[in-house]
């Protein structure tokens, strides 16, 4: 009886360890200080939007968080949810919140429907989630809080959430 109990305890501990290992973010998923950053690219697969990560290299002596956001805006691909001409005006990380200030072009997101707005929010979340010091983001446009039409942007938005910043099942048509 004692041997069976020990086996069951061992199995339960192993299952718990596996669940925790899969659930907790890996330290290797964070930026490692080497200039390699990941930028989400919107793709269409089976009539659904998906985000695939593309690896870029930036100068690690620069503000890599700002550089990652600039890459997201400039190299977002043909399906980028960000309006043409959108620029990063300012970025500061304070109390684990990234305060991101974009140019007025960012406001056009409101006019492009709920899928585009959701893709933009999730692309920002995925980009910022790789930086361990950032736990949430607050989006501003020309220094004022961004007000979306379809998503709640009024409070700091966690960059790591239940969906990991990935839009699932958004129709591409």
Query: Is the pLDDT assigned to residue 168 strictly greater than 50?
Result: no
Q: Using an 8 Å Cβ cutoff, are 134 and 128 in contact? A: yes
Strands in the chain per DSSP E: 36-45, 48-57, 88-94, 97-102, 136-141, 144-145, 157-158
Number of C-beta neighbours around residue 142 at 10 A: 12
Q: Is residue 18's pLDDT more than 80?
A: no
User: DSSP per residue over 51-101, as a string?
Assistant: EEEEEEE--TTS-HHHHHHHHHHHS--TT-SSPTT--EEEEEEETTEEEEE
What is the per-residue pLDDT across 133-146, written as a single tens digit (0 to 9) for each? 999 999 999 999 99
Residue 167 and residue 161 in contact, taking contact as beta carbons nearer than 8 Å: no
Tally of CB atoms within 10 A around 38 = 18
What's the pLDDT tens digit per position in 30-64? 788 888 999 888 888 777 888 888 899 999 999 99
Which residue reads 């400039």 in tokens? 74
pLDDT tens string 85-105: 999 999 999 999 999 999 999
pLDDT for 92 equals 96
Q: Which pair of tokens denotes residue 11?
A: 């199995």
């Amino acid at each position: 009886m004692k041997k069976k109990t020990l086996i069951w305890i061992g199995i339960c501990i192993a299952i718990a360890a596996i669940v925790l290992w899969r659930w907790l973010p890996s330290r290797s998923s964070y930026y490692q200080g080497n200039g390699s950053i990941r930028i989400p690219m919107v793709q269409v697969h089976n009539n659904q939007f998906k985000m695939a990560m593309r690896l870029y290299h930036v100068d690690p002596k620069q503000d890599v968080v700002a550089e990652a956001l600039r890459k997201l805006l400039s190299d977002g691909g043909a399906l980028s949810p960000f309006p043409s001409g959108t620029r990063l005006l300012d970025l500061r990380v304070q109390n684990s919140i990234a305060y991101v200030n974009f140019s007025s072009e960012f406001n056009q997101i409101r006019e492009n429907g709920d899928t585009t707005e959701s893709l933009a929010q999730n692309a920002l979340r995925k980009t910022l989630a790789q930086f361990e010091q950032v736990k949430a983001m607050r989006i501003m446009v020309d220094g004022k809080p961004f007000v979306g039409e379809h998503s709640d942007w009024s409070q700091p938005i966690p960059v790591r959430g239940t969906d990991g910043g990935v839009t699932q099942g958004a129709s591409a048509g």
